[in-house]
Amino acid sequence: MEVLQRHHTEGRDVRLIVTDVQMPQMDGLSLAENIRRQSAFSTIPIILISSSVQQGEPSRCRALGHSAYLSKPVQPSELFDAMLDMLSIKKPAAQTKAMRTAEATSARKRAMKILLAEDNAVNRKLAKTLLEKHGYTVVNAENGREALEVLGREQIDLILMDMQMPVMDGFEAMRAIRESERDSGKHIRIVALTAHAMKGDRARCLEAGADDYVTKPIRTTELLAALDRSEAGAPVGEVAAGSASAAPGAILDVQRALQRLDGDSELLEELATLFADEGVKNIRDIHEAFAAADAKLLERLAHTVKGASANIGAASLSHAALVLEELARSGDLTNAAEKIAALERELARLLPAIKSLARKTADGVRS
Ligand code: MN
């Protein structure tokens, strides 16, 4: 229980529990029942292994849901099958042998450990949640330097690299990685995360060493398609142009945002709430950057707001941020005060919409 709690508070949720039934102090079934009582752990798959099938154990196990009951001695293949069943997204209906094989392959592929280098908290949360939902393991880094540190100490299968980051950006980090690979002869797959608005970004990413790229705002289907291409070792795919950009002028286009998030309204609410906190902080930083006449910083902050707001379907705020970003990039801050004021107005319009979205979701859960 302690290990589970600690991992949960640290944001590294356990994906599967395998436990012996006969254990001192708290036996496996009581442990499983305790785990199920906590809503955060209500759906973690649990595999129970028993050395002597006791009366009532199989039915107590069934009552847990998302669980399997195996008796010792357990064959490796039996345990493996149970794990596949537990971890598979599909319901364990009657399956053909071909389906099972396909699932096994997919489960192996999905044991992939992804390093996500992204400075924006909303984007990080979004990508991490989506990837974990699809069975990937995700390690976070908030800038290029952190990403290099992670690579130095952990075995990583693929990197999702944001290009615009503070301290060390994605271009610099990718060059450093490719440089070091010249000696080792290895090649880690890197998928660049780029802002759609920046023309030439794609070419620059590939030139700097990316194998593939995904444009922001992040869409589930595009991200997963890029990972499938990676698993297949396939070349860069075509990106559907502007397929799901929010309707211009919308304060909060919930429908479009949900389309990008697999229809996960709880995730949208979480992102929106996270965005509301970050957004207020971003505006404060934007004022400071403007006061310091730091056009570079202003550009980066505006860029962050643009991307994060697009993720939650806040099209008009995203547009206001784009205008400020472009102005800051030009280096001429003459009209910046006006653009910052416009950005603030949009954020002020958005915050109540986010609040009512959170209320709606809460109502939905209650009813
Ligand atoms: Mn960024």
State the distance from the centre of ligand 1 to the C-alpha of 70, rounded, in angstroms: 47
H helix or E strand, kind and range, residue 19? strand 17-20
Q: Write out pLDDT tens, residues 136-185.
A: 899 999 999 999 999 999 999 999 999 999 999 999 999 999 989 887 88
Query: What is the β-pairing status of strands 137-141 and 46-50?
Result: unpaired
State the distance from the centre of ligand 1 to the C-alpha of 283, rounded, in angstroms: 16
The full DSSP string for 124-186 is HHHHHHHHHHTT-EEEEESSHHHHHHHHHHS--SEEEEESS-SSS-HHHHHHHHHHHHHHH--
The full DSSP string for 203-265 is HHHHHHT-SEEEEESP-HHHHHHHHHHHHHTPPPPPPPTTTTPPPTT-S--HHHHHHHTTT-H
pLDDT mean across residues, the chain: 81
Instruction: Tally the residues of the chain.
Output: 367
At 239, the pLDDT band (50, 70, 90 cuts) reads very low
Q: Are 350 and 314 in contact (CB under 8 A)?
A: yes
Mean pLDDT of 112-140: 92
The amino acid present at 360, given as its one-letter code, is K
State the distance from the centre of ligand 1 to the C-alpha of 119, rounded, in angstroms: 5
State the distance from the centre of ligand 1 to the C-alpha of 124, rounded, in angstroms: 10
State the distance from the centre of ligand 1 to the C-alpha of 300, rounded, in angstroms: 8
State the distance from the centre of ligand 1 to the C-alpha of 17, rounded, in angstroms: 35
Percent of the chain clearing pLDDT 90 (strictly above): 30
State the distance from the centre of ligand 1 to the C-alpha of 144, rounded, in angstroms: 10
At 238, the pLDDT band (50, 70, 90 cuts) reads very low
The amino acid present at 57, given as its one-letter code, is E
Q: Quote the CA–CA distance of 118 and 162 in Å, as a whole number.
A: 5
Mean pLDDT of 87-106: 52
Q: Quote the CA–CA distance of 156 and 187 in Å, as a whole number.
A: 11
Predicted confidence (pLDDT) at residue 103 exceeds the cutoff of 60: no
Predicted confidence (pLDDT) at residue 113 exceeds the cutoff of 90: yes
Q: Write out pLDDT tens, residues 285-337.
A: 999 999 999 999 999 999 999 988 888 888 889 989 999 999 999 999 998 99
Mean pLDDT of 82-94: 58
State the distance from the centre of ligand 1 to the C-alpha of 166, rounded, in angstroms: 8
Q: What's the farthest any 2 CA atoms get from each other in the chain? A: 79
The pLDDT of residue 78 is 66
State the distance from the centre of ligand 1 to the C-alpha of 286, rounded, in angstroms: 15
State the distance from the centre of ligand 1 to the C-alpha of 361, rounded, in angstroms: 29
The pLDDT of residue 196 is 60
